């Protein structure tokens, strides 16, 4: 498919368009908050707390009088940063492991990597994250590492699974005959052929990363105050839900819409990029 | 038709019976935040033990009244010798422990000797440190001899840590407490509740309640729903002040706002640089806007304090003026101390909302004068390990709920590490002073010293906010000690 055709197909995919628009809205909010927010999120104004949404404070104010719109914008930064690094860790470690396992299929290395993955997979991901942050103390960095670690087996398995059939192809055989080592083959021939899958999986893991960050912050193990985080905003709002429902509503919607957007985008990308679906009869 | 009449009659009877049962209601379910680790008030500091058992199951020689005054308990009366070192307690006759054994002078000797023994597990051993000997003169008379006169001995004996236990039942006390109180321990459902039932053989006036259940609910949202649904009749020390507005507006409930002995402080690690410099500590104190913290963290419940002393105590001195909210002056002080651009420190916060919310507000207030704090939210176990025992912190927020605990400032190894020999001398003089006027003057002096040394940031006196069913009477509004005394609790007819 030519680039132009691909682009046209992308525009036709409703999932992809809606998903990307939603994700982009939050990305723009996060980027904007780097330079400007309607109000300072570290400044407290007890006198004007718990105000309902109004022209002055579009999303209202929280229990300390902070502007919720500003907090959601900065919170998007936190969520996106945590998710990007966590997916980065997962890909950075998981993909090479998966490639190595596929290259040495059936060997001790393969067994070690895959059983190691099974071990990490065996624990519920949030439980691992809670364990890590409890042992090493709650902080943004530890939350990122924790979320990153349970991304590793996801990418390792995916990569290995996708790489194995490629290794049986004729062009790999010819590459081997021409004297290329397994590392070079993996990088030059295998990796480009699994990139599509990795992108799709990356989008989905990204949304899971945002959810995980929100969950960790909700129980107090993620980003520490005063840095705003959607999960902690939800936790703060919990006892106030009867008198200030807007405090729970906006961070809740922010999480919902971002994750929905990323999942739609992931689905759309898969439809577009996955050769099996792409070539399937309609 | 006949059948309908019959069932209608049955229904009427049923509702009548139900109505009758309701009118005779003599049981109560009370929510408390924490579950006791075990049930021996004489071997642990946990306030939850006293909340359930103090005065209900266990009694001491003297006891606290609802206003904090000390009155007779198991000792009917007492005489104090002229030199103030010998206390002769006349015990109530015909008092029985819940297991049927008699309460006698030997039980008092056993309890006090056990509490002050070398290997005692008592959490407040200082209460008993002045005792030289305890003797049973006859079954209803106990003579306590002190090393030196002790001004607050009767007060000390009213503490939950000084209740009288029996040697016959001491081995199982942690799971099956046997005392002399108006209620006997009945059942402990771990993780859920503790039930006590009326003691028919109680020596004093019989309580109106037949049965009381203490339910452990630490989650504010769960506490709110349990209260609203009527699953519990009262919540002692309600955990979320933000909900109180709703309870106040609801005619089914009464909100009791009372005093506690909880001085809430921004504790400063006096041995950690730069807090060794009094100017820095003063700057921290002046950066704090107490009212903003009370409004923001406690929704208006709380009284500002300027020293480590309860405002409802007659000897309290209002020293809030020593550190008025003045960020300009605070910045100038920091510059004078060599930190014109401020500095960075840690702010470690235990779980209660006064600490978590108060911490965020204080962090913002300190940022205004250039002090950047790194906040970490800790669970109690971590807090005890890192802050209380490990001294590994710059600032922390905690409420000191023990009554009359200004003496902790005389302990140089206490977690805020304030070491002032003059203050230590003052407290040791105070402990042997018997003259009320001189005691009062010394207490005031002590309050001034720590306030002018800016040992800690003194924030506010924690308010005790309890939510109770409007038909329930007799729950103490104040907390002179950690207790939910049920002896005077009853339902409106």
How are beta strands B303-304 and B457-469 bridged, if at all? antiparallel
Q: What is the DSSP string of B90-102?
A: EEPSS-B-TTSPB
Q: Place A277 in a pLDDT band, splitting at 50, 70 and 90.
A: low
B375 to chain A, minimum CA–CA distance in Å? 6
Q: Quote the CA–CA distance of B275 and B270 in Å, as a whole number.
A: 5
Q: Which parts of chain B sit beneath pLDDT 70? A: 1-24
- pLDDT number for residue A274: 66
- pLDDT number for residue B17: 44
Q: Place A224 in a pLDDT band, splitting at 50, 70 and 90.
A: confident
Most A-contacting residue of B217, B226, B229, B242 (CB-CB within 10 A), to test interface:
B242
- pLDDT number for residue A275: 59
Nearest alpha-carbon partner for B375 in A236, A227, A229, A41: A227
B415 to chain A, minimum CA–CA distance in Å? 21
User: Model's pTM, two decimal places?
Assistant: 0.75
CB contact under 8 A, B364 and A49: no
Q: What is the mean pLDDT of residues A46-68?
A: 86
CB contact under 8 A, A225 and B375: yes
CB contact under 8 A, B374 and A243: no
Q: Where are the alpha helices (DSSP H) in A36-151?
A: 68-103, 108-122, 125-136, 140-149
List, as own/partner pairs, every contact residues B116-123 make where C-beta atoms lie below 8 angstroms and the sequence separation is at least 24, other chains included: B120/B43, B121/B42, B121/B43, B121/B44, B122/B42, B122/B43, B122/B161, B123/B43, B123/B44, B123/B45, B123/B161
How are beta strands B62-64 and B70-72 bridged, if at all? antiparallel
Give me the residue label for tokens 């729903």: B225
For each of the domains in chain A, give its residue range(s) and CATH number, in order of start. Answer: 25-278 (1.10.3720.10)
Task: Report the alpha-carbon angle B394-B345-B451, nearest 5.
Answer: 50
A48 part of contact set with chain B, CB < 8 Å: no
Contact at 8 Å (CB) between B224 and A239?
A: yes
Can you point out the beta strands (E) in B362-456? 372-377, 395-400
B295 part of contact set with chain A, CB < 8 Å: yes
- pLDDT number for residue A181: 86
Nearest alpha-carbon partner for B394 in B295, B274, B221, B279: B274
Contact at 8 Å (CB) between B90 and B144?
A: no
Chain B contact set for A223 (CB, 8 A)? none
CB contact under 8 A, B296 and A44: yes
- pLDDT number for residue B18: 45
Stated as kind and residue range, the H or E segment containing B234 is strand B234-235
Contact at 8 Å (CB) between B330 and B366?
A: no
Chain B contact set for A43 (CB, 8 A)? 364
- pLDDT number for residue B446: 94
Mean residue pLDDT across chain A: 86
Q: Each residue of B419-462: pLDDT tens digit?
A: 999 999 999 988 877 788 898 999 999 999 999 999 999 999 99
Is pLDDT at A209 greater than 60 in this prediction?
Answer: yes
Of A46, A226, A239, the CB nearest to B224: A239
Q: Quote the CA–CA distance of B316 and B297 in Å, as a whole number.
A: 24
What ipTM was estimated for this complex? 0.70
Of A224, A239, A242, the CB nearest to B375: A224
Q: Place A149 in a pLDDT band, splitting at 50, 70 and 90.
A: confident
Q: Each residue of B254-279: pLDDT tens digit?
A: 999 888 888 999 999 999 989 999 99
Of A49, A226, A243, the CB nearest to B360: A226
Q: Place A10 in a pLDDT band, splitting at 50, 70 and 90.
A: confident
Is pLDDT at A266 greater than 70 in this prediction?
Answer: yes
- pLDDT number for residue A1: 56
Q: Which residue of B has its CA nearest to A62?
A: B296
Chain B contact set for A44 (CB, 8 A)? 292, 296, 360-361, 364
Which of A167-176, A197-206, B14-23 has the lowest average pLDDT?
B14-23
- pLDDT number for residue B16: 44
Task: Report the alpha-carbon angle B234-B240-B399, nearest 5.
Answer: 100
């Amino acid at each position: 498919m030519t680039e132009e055709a691909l682009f046209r197909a992308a525009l036709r995919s409703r999932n992809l368009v809606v998903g990307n628009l939603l994700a982009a809205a939050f990305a723009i909010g996060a980027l904007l908050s780097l330079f400007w927010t309607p109000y300072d999120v570290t400044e407290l104004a007890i006198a004007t707390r718990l105000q309902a949404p109004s022209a002055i404070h579009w999303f209202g104010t929280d229990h300390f009088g902070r502007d919720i719109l500003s907090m959601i914008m900065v919170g998007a930064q936190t969520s996106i940063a945590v998710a990007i690094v966590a997916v980065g860790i997962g890909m950075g470690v998981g993909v090479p492991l998966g490639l190595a396992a596929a290259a040495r299929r059936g060997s001790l290395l393969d067994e070690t990597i895959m059983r190691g993955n099974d071990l990490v997979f065996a624990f519920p991901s949030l439980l691992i994250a809670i364990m890590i942050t409890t042992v090493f103390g709650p902080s943004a960095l530890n939350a990122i590492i924790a979320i990153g670690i349970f991304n590793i087996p996801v990418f390792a398995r995916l990569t290995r699974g996708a790489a194995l059939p490629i290794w049986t192809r004729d062009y790999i055989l010819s590459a081997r005959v021409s004297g290329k080592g397994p590392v070079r083959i993996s990088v030059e021939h295998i990796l480009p052929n699994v990139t599509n899958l990795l992108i799709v999986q990356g989008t989905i893991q990204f949304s899971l990363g945002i959810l995980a960050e929100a969950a960790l912050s909700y129980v107090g193990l993620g980003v520490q105050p005063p840095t705003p985080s959607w999960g902690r905003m939800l936790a703060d709002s919990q006892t106030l839900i009867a008198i200030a429902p807007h405090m729970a509503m906006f961070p809740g919607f922010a999480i919902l819409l971002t994750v929905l957007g990323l999942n739609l985008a992931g689905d759309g990308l898969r439809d577009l990029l996955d050769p099996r679906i792409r070539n399937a009869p309609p | 038709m006949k059948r309908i009449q019959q069932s209608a009659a049955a229904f009427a009877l049923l509702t009548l019976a139900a109505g009758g049962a309701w009118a005779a209601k003599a049981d109560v379910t009370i929510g408390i935040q924490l579950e006791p680790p075990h049930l021996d008030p004489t071997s642990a500091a946990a306030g939850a033990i006293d909340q359930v058992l103090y005065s209900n199951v266990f009694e001491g020689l003297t006891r606290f009244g609802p206003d904090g005054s000390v009155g007779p308990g198991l000792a009917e009366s007492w005489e104090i010798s002229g030199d103030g070192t010998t206390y002769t307690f006349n015990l109530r006759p015909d008092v029985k422990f819940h297991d049927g054994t008699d309460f006698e002078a030997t039980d008092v000797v056993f309890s006090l000797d056990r509490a002050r023994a070398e290997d005692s597990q008592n959490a407040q051993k200082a209460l008993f440190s002045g005792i030289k000997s305890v003797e049973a003169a006859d079954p209803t008379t106990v003579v306590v001899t002190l090393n030196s006169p002790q001004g607050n001995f009767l007060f000390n004996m009213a503490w939950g840590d000084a209740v009288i236990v029996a040697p016959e039942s001491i081995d199982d006390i942690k799971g099956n407490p046997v005392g002399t109180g108006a209620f006997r321990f009945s059942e402990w459902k771990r993780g859920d509740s503790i039930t006590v039932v009326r003691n028919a053989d109680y020596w004093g006036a019989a309580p109106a309640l037949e049965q009381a259940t203490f339910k452990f609910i630490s989650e504010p949202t769960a506490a709110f729903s349990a209260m609203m649904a009527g699953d519990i009749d009262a919540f002692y020390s309600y955990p979320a002040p933000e909900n109180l507005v709703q309870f106040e507006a609801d005619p089914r409930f009464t909100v009791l706002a009372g005093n506690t002995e909880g001085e809430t402080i921004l504790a400063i690690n006096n041995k950690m640089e730069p807090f060794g410099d009094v100017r820095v500590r003063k700057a921290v104190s002046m950066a704090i806007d107490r009212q903003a913290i009370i409004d923001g963290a406690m929704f208006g419940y709380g009284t500002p304090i300027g020293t480590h002393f309860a405002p409802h105590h007659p000897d309290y001195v209002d020293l809030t003026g020593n550190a008025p909210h003045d960020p300009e002056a605070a910045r100038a002080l920091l510059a004078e101390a060599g930190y014109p651009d401020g500095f960075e420190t840690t702010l470690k916060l235990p779980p209660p909302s006064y600490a978590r919310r108060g911490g965020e507000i204080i962090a913002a207030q300190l940022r205004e004068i250039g002090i950047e704090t790194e906040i970490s939210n800790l669970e109690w176990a971590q807090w005890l390990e890192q802050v209380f025992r490990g001294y590994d912190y710059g600032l922390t927020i905690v409420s000191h709920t023990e009554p009359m605990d200004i003496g902790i400032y005389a302990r140089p190894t206490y977690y805020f590490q304030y070491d002032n020999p003059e203050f230590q001398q003052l407290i040791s003089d105070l402990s042997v002073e018997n003259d009320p006027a001189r005691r009062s003057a010394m207490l005031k002096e002590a309050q001034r010293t720590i306030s002018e040394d800016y040992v800690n940031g003194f924030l506010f006196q924690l308010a005790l906010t309890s939510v109770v069913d409007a038909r329930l009477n007799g729950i103490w509004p104040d907390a002179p000690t950690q207790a939910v005394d049920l002896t005077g609790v009853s339902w409106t007819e």
